[in-house]
Amino acid sequence: MKEIVHHAVYDTLADWETGHATAHLRNGSYQREPGAYEIVTVGLTTDPVVTMGGLRITPDLALDQLSPAGSALLILPGATLWDAGGELAPFARKAREFLEAGVPVAAICGATAGLAREGLLNEREHTSGAVQYLEAQEGYTGAKRYLDQDAVLDGDLITAGPTEPVAFAREIFRRLDIYRPEVLDAWFRLFSRSDPSAYEVLMAA
């Protein structure tokens, strides 16, 4: 049976931030066990949402139906709504539930601010667009754990800034251990730097 990766969806979702991760989780290329993951979308409700790029998505399930049990990962993309009030706070609370259950959470861009307000970054190494962005969030006291890196994996938490969708995907793949180390390195070199030597490694895989 395929494992399930849950992907949060909401209005103003930043389309470009999670595509590398979801596409390569689902298509199985180069994986140790090809085709092992299914992507299931989760909204506040099952009403359609519209992304920043204008794509309409109908969530597969509502947030109140989501449980860490049976989930391999929760992905939280960025969205304008993360900075527009508390509408998406329930997703940050659900992230706490996942982390407390030992199920990984991956947050990028504005979703890191949501986790900061929930207090989930104060004792974990993390990154975002800039430390000043997180310091502006009420409840955040984790600047000492902030790392100026493209993406950060600390235990079950993955974080990245808005310009690092490929590095974000890399750390998701690392946490789920879907690629052998040399394949993960080659995948990142190909998709982040167009390194032709990486293609040979992937084809051999």
Residue in 13, 63, 76, 109 annotated catalytic: 109
Q: How far separated are the first and last CA of the chain, in Å rounded? A: 23
For residue 37, the cross-strand partners are 3
Instruction: Find the angle CA(112)-CA(48)-CA(172) to the nearest 5 degrees.
Output: 35
Q: Find out whether 8 and 74 touch, Cβ atoms under 8 Å.
A: yes
Question: Annotated catalytic, 120?
Answer: no
135 contact partners, CB below 8 Å, separation of at least 6: 143
Q: Find out whether 205 and 178 touch, Cβ atoms under 8 Å.
A: no
CA distances from 14 to 9, 52, 96 (A): 10, 5, 22
Catalytic residues: 109
